[in-house]
Amino acid sequence: MSHVFPRQIHAPPPVATGGAGCYLFDAAGRRYFDGSGGAAVSCLGHGDPEIVAAVQDQASRLAYAHTGFFTSEPAEALADLLIAHAPGDLDRVYFVSGGSEAVEAALKLARQYHVERGAPERRHVIARRQSYHGNTLGALAAGGNAWRRAPFEPMLPAMRHVAPCYAYAEKPPGETDEAYGQRLAQELEDEILALGPESVIAFVAEPVVGATLGAVPAVPGYFRRIREICDRYGVLLILDEVMCGMGRTGHLFACEAEGVAPDILCIAKGLGAGYQPVGAMLCSRAIYDTLAAGSGAFQHGHTYIGHPVACAAGLAVMRAVLERGLLAQVQARGALLRELLQDRFGAHPHIGDIRGRGLFLGLEFVADRETRTPFARAEAVAPRLKAAAFEAGLICYPMQGTRDGQSGDHVLLAPPFIMQPAEAEELADRLARAI
Ligand code: PMP
């Protein structure tokens, strides 16, 4: 009898006992191909000796020192490395334990920044429909799936949601990508104007939408237009790269491909690569300086922020990504996996789109390829695929989208960056079996 509270109360999962490279093992001796790195977490695979050694070494030297009193060497070194590679003028790093905490911190920092610069009337945050930004109350309120929020209503009242970026099944046939992107961005400007430009704190978005839509990059020009709109009205741009950041798309930060830099950037998952729970919020010098000149403190914090062992893991992972040439490898293996998926599923009557960047790929399921009609909710593929894939020894990340009657029935693939070409074939074969 297990006393662990499982995610699915009536279907407790098998006991995971080990991992090596792209594979996980359970107590019954079964082997699974980790085709999604859990939830886009295990970018270096399992059992990487260098990361394990870095964690062990830090734990033996200094496991914990409260950030109310100390900083630590690994936290300082990781912050330096992140800032050396960060886009725009991101200048300070606030370490947390995961993605929701990073988003929560971003929302609170954005609010406090406006208060301290003398604009306390700014109180609305705008995010996108069909988005996911985490499960803590603030991050959940920002997320754009009504069914996730429903059990916890009323949520924070000042959240608004505008159109998501490109989803295959929702782009009208005949409209160019560019025109579509401009039209979606225009919704943000209209919402800001409707609320009153002086009342908006920030706009939050994922550069490449992960869990809710399945590796959907924005259409070209969308984010540049978003950046212009935010600048015009003094609205902070918060980019959530919890899933798509840290090399997953073949760029260290996904926003590099869009040619924009945010005011606040959230990362997690691939930062600790599963070896430690660690996330971070990076903010611009202007935001930091405003607090430094004002109250002198960010009114936020958790006991485990800046944890030395977590930061040591993040540092070792980030060095590995940069020094082992893994960004180029993500691009090459991503292109290969995409080709393999295209070969197997390019003409499948119920696969409407194969998309993504780097090793962050999604397949969208549709009832009808021609009309792009999604499956009815009761017939959605994702929930059935999850079970079939697990049976076929494959861990992938199927999601039914919004459950709000819109599109988003898909499977997300996010295998480890170290995946070999033969393993990419194995992943595609196992997925084909499951589908
Ligand atoms: N933002 C995004 C884009 C995510 O994908 C996730 C996790 N799926 C989160 C935030 C929340 O991260 P965590 O589960 O680590 O709290």
DSSP-assigned letters across all residues of 260-325? ---SEEEE-GGGTBTTB--EEEEEEHHHHHHHHHTTSS-S---TTTT-HHHHHHHHHHHHHHHHTT
C-alpha pair distances (Å), 213 with each of 208, 395, 415 = 9, 18, 17
Atom of ligand 1 at shortest range from CA of 277: 15
Q: What is the reported pLDDT for 169?
A: 58
Q: Is 211 touching ligand 1 by the criterion CB < 6 Å?
A: yes
Q: What is the reported pLDDT for 281?
A: 98
Q: Is 210 touching ligand 1 by the criterion CB < 6 Å?
A: yes
List the residue whose alpha carbon is closest to atom 1 of ligand 1.
133
Beta strand extents in 153-254 (DSSP E only):
159-162, 200-205, 208-209, 216-217, 236-240
Strands 200-205 and 124-128: parallel
Q: What is the reported pLDDT for 167?
A: 59
Q: Is 243 touching ligand 1 by the criterion CB < 6 Å?
A: yes
- CA max distance for the chain: 61
Domain with CATH 3.40.640.10 in the chain: 53-323
Q: Is 78 touching ligand 1 by the criterion CB < 6 Å?
A: no
Q: What is the reported pLDDT for 6?
A: 83
Q: What is the reported pLDDT for 10?
A: 80
Q: What is the reported pLDDT for 370?
A: 87
C-alpha 139/C-alpha 150 separation (Å) is 14
Q: Which amino acid, one-letter code, is at 364?
A: E
Per-residue confidence of the chain (435 residues) as pLDDT tens digits? 788 888 888 888 899 999 999 999 999 999 999 999 999 999 999 999 999 999 999 999 999 999 999 999 999 999 999 999 999 999 999 999 999 999 999 999 999 999 999 999 999 999 998 899 999 999 999 998 888 899 998 888 788 888 776 656 567 878 888 898 999 999 999 999 999 999 999 999 999 999 998 999 999 999 999 999 999 999 999 999 999 999 999 999 999 999 999 999 999 999 999 999 999 999 999 999 999 999 999 999 999 999 999 999 999 999 999 999 999 999 999 999 999 999 999 999 999 999 999 999 999 998 988 888 888 888 889 989 999 999 999 999 998 865 555 568 999 999 999 999 999 999 999 999 999
The answer to whether the Cα torsion of 271, 272, 273, 279 is positive or negative is negative
From 37, 30, 1, select the one nearest 16 (Cα to Cα). Answer: 30
Q: What is the reported pLDDT for 163?
A: 76
From 313, 286, 348, select the one nearest 113 (Cα to Cα). Answer: 286
Q: Is 207 touching ligand 1 by the criterion CB < 6 Å?
A: no
Q: How far away, in angstroms, is 321 Cα from ligand 1 center?
A: 21
Q: Please provide the CATH number assigned to the domain covering 53-323.
A: 3.40.640.10
For residues 218 and 128, the answer to whether their CB atoms sit within 8 Å is no
What architecture does CATH give domain 16-47+325-434? Alpha-Beta Complex (3.90)
- Kind and range of the H or E run holding 16: strand 16-20
Atom of ligand 1 at shortest range from CA of 101: 16
Q: Which of 97, 240, 243 to mutate to test the pocket of ligand 1 (most atoms within 8 A of CB)?
A: 243
Q: What is the reported pLDDT for 5?
A: 87
Cis peptide before 154 (omega within 30 of 0): yes
ipTM above 0.85, yes or no: yes
Domain with CATH 3.90.1150.10 in the chain: 16-47+325-434
For residues 237 and 227, the answer to whether their CB atoms sit within 8 Å is yes
Q: How far away, in angstroms, is 361 Cα from ligand 1 center?
A: 17
